[in-house]
Amino acid sequence: PYCGYLITRSAEILDQFKSFVERTQGDSLGTICSSSRLRDMGQDSLEAIELVMLLEEEFEISVSEDDAASIQTVGDAIRFIY
């Protein structure tokens, strides 16, 4: 069913997101989940901008400056993808 697809897709996106954060920071992360806060992962404002740009490019989406400023957690970022 569609629900199973969403769960699988969410897990894939979470893995991709973790990879993006690691690329912008140049550092490996431990376990992250949708409630993980970006600032707790060491994201500074420049890295957050780079992360939004990666998301826009990878998922062919557009995130306004106001929306980008509202992204505080991994879950916030993933919601823009869906």
Phi first, then psi, for residue 26 (nearest 5°) are 70, 30
Confidence of residue 7 (pLDDT cuts 50, 70, 90): low
Q: For position 75, what pLDDT does the model report?
A: 85
Going by C-alpha positions, the residue among 48, 58, 57, 60 that lies closest to residue 21 is: 48
Confidence of residue 4 (pLDDT cuts 50, 70, 90): low
Per residue in 25-69, pLDDT (tens digit) is 776 777 777 888 888 877 778 888 888 888 888 888 899 989 988
- The answer to whether residue 15 is catalytic is no
Catalytic position from the list 40, 44, 66, 67: 44
